[in-house]
Structure 1
Amino acid sequence: MNNKLVICGYGWLGRYLGEAMSATHSIIATTRSEEKAQQIHNKHLKGLVFSLGNDTTALCDELVGATLVLNIPPGRRNTQLDDFTNSMLALIDSAVAANVARIIFISTTSVYGDTRNDELNEHVSTQPETASAKAHVAIEQHLLDLKTNAKVDVKIVRLAGLTGPDRHPVNSLSGRSLNAGNKRINLVHIRDVVAALKTLILAASSKADSSNSETSKTDSTDLYHLCSLQHPKRGEYYTQAANKKGIPAPTFSESDLPPTGKVIDAKASWDLLGIVPDYANPDDMI
């Protein structure tokens, strides 16, 4: 089994993933500072200093035959993302030229926009509204074009809102007065995300060294949704979450109205991955 895993962008998600994969894979993790690279080394992983837009030579030396998890967010408040997008596309092209085995791109369900009022499966067209969402769509399309040209194996993973034992959106909503309490929520727990990524990484590693032509279920699609299977109204959910955490609850208008807003349908993706999410109900994420 080819067991080299390069996590490009070793932030909150990357750390959970690196810790989960360290028993089976040689982990190379990129960070923007020498101090953080040393902290990664202290975890018995290899830290590599790299910022998007930098020379890619040292990074590409690690990518030969590796699985690359591309997890560099553009920043929520950045509205001028041409440089970010172009640098990401250049990085991808460099990785392909270096003979990377597979690219797993961490994308977002925000590519569907925020004004839709329907159930969205993996086959629904994107309608990006923000600069970040538009950048993600452009990067996704570039990867899919490379896949079509048989230059690289690609998986795109669109994440709903991330939660975890040390991260929950109610913490930033506490005590606030907000609108649209009847809007449905789309959340996913970090442990379910790591389980999904682990499945894709292990499939990629096994495929790279396989001497037969067997095709796994994960080879049947390039695109995955990762989201909980239940979608309560946010006014009800975040009030309950705040009460459970013992922090001031937010107040919402329209909470008594019928539910509205998009629902990310991830059932097909979980089935393909062979995973029953441990946090299918957002109540269990609190």
Structure 2
Amino acid sequence: MTQKVVISGYGWLAGYIGKALTGKVSIVGTTRSQQKRLALKEQGITAIEYALGDDTSALCNHLPNATLLLNIPPGRRNTDLASFTDNMLQLVDAAISANVAHIVFISTTSVYGDATNEVVTEVSTTQPQTASAKAHVTIEDYLLSKRGQVDISIVRLAGLVGPDRHPARSLSGRQLDAGNKRINLVHVHDIVPALTTIICNTPLNDTIHLCSLSHPKRGIYYVDAAKAMNIDAPHFSDTEAPPVGKVIDASKSWARLNITPLYGDPNRMF
């Protein structure tokens, strides 16, 4: 069992994870902001100002025998994904040189692309289409090539939902197509116990999915969600057509973690 976790990228998701891990392990978090560093310090978290691409020396001082949670997304506005990818691989190398015990990489189910109508399992072939998804696959493959030197857990997350975050809000009132496309979402209150298990127990050395267990059409789901949240509903075309799009099957991953997701039905997320 790890005694220390270093969370590189202390953003929205890390806030939930850090709160759950407080009192269980020693926590170190990185942030690009001095203000955020001071706020984390007040929460009892050792905080380091670090941006991807910076010198890793201060970060690496905390990594011997620790678990490193890599939770640094490329950012929607980041157009230099080659630099992002190279910096992530360099951070991995630095961590391994510092004798990190376990690396947990937060990846995404977008690595499968949107071209398939199939059920996708943890061993399905990746088909990344976006620059971000391609970057994630490159980082995943590099990490998996390091197994034997360090324990590696790849965690592919579906679309994120939380008490303060739901994609229906960004879709409110919009005219959209592909109402028959299936949704793949996961609630932060299910992610937290999964990551806590992965960090605090025996490393998986594998790839897992975290996603809800049902996948309604988005033209039905987001309209119902908007009504439940008392916001303007989006308007979709093709909702009555047969369902299309990938289905992220996370059933084996949940079973492996011995977790029954509280939000296996995405209709419980609003």
Q: Does 1:228 align with 2:226?
A: no
- Residue 79 of structure 1 deviates from its aligned partner by 3.4
**Does the residue aligned with 1:158 lie in a helix, a strand or coil?**
strand
Cα deviation 1:110-153 (Å, max 9, x = unaligned)? 00011211100011000000110000000000000001xx1110
User: 2:229: which partner in 1?
Assistant: 245
Write out aligned runs for 1:7-156 (5 A): 7-147=7-147, 150-156=148-154
Counterpart position of 2:239 = 255
Matched residue count: 270
TM-score, normalization by structure 2: 0.98
Cα deviation for residue 77 of structure 1 reads: 3.4
Alpha-carbon offset, residue 33 of structure 1: 1.2
Give the equivalent residue in structure 2 for 1:211: none
> Residues 180-219 of structure 1 correspond to what in structure 2 (within 5 A)?
180-204=178-202, 219=204
Are the aligned partners of 2:213 and 2:264 in contact in 1 as well (CA < 8 Å)? yes
Q: Give the Cα–Cα distance (whole angstroms) in 2 for the partners of residues 162 and 233 of structure 1.
A: 17
The one-letter code of the counterpart of 1:160 is A
What's the offset of the Cα at 1:203?
A: 1.0
More helix by share: 1
SS at match of 1:5: strand
Scaled by the length of structure 1, the TM-score of the pair is: 0.93
Q: CA deviation at 1:3?
A: 1.3
The Cα of 1:44 is off from its aligned counterpart by 1.2
Percent identical residues: 57
2: distance between equivalents of 1:115 and 1:126?
Answer: 11
Does 1:264 find its partner at 2:248? yes
- What is the alpha-carbon distance in structure 2 between the residues aligned to residue 240 and residue 200 of structure 1? 34
CA–CA distance in 2 between the matches of 1:115 and 1:248?
30
Verify the 8 A CA contact 2:2 2:201 in the aligned structure 1. Answer: no
RMSD (Å) for aligned C-alpha atoms: 0.9
Amino acid at match of 1:196: A
Where structure 1 has 5 or more consecutive residues not aligned to the other structure, the ranges are 205-217
Q: How far off is 1:47 after superposition?
A: 1.0
Cα deviation per residue 1:183-234 (whole Å; 9 max; x = unaligned)? 0000000010111000001114xxxxxxxxxxxxx64x51000000000000
Question: Residues of 2 paired with 1:112 and 1:233: CA distance?
Answer: 19
Question: SS at 2:186's partner residue?
Answer: strand
2:71 partner letter: N
Q: Which amino acid aligns with 1:84?
A: F
Q: Distance in 2 between matches of 1:229 and 1:23?
A: 31
2:158 counterpart (160, 170, 175) = 160
Contact 1:88 1:139 in 2 (8 A): yes
Asked if the contact 1:80–1:131 (Cα under 8 Å) also holds between the matched residues in 2, the reply is no
Alpha-carbon distance in structure 1 between the residues aligned to 2:63 and 2:89: 16
* Structure 2 stretches lacking a partner, 5+ long: none
Q: 1:76 Cα shift? A: 2.1
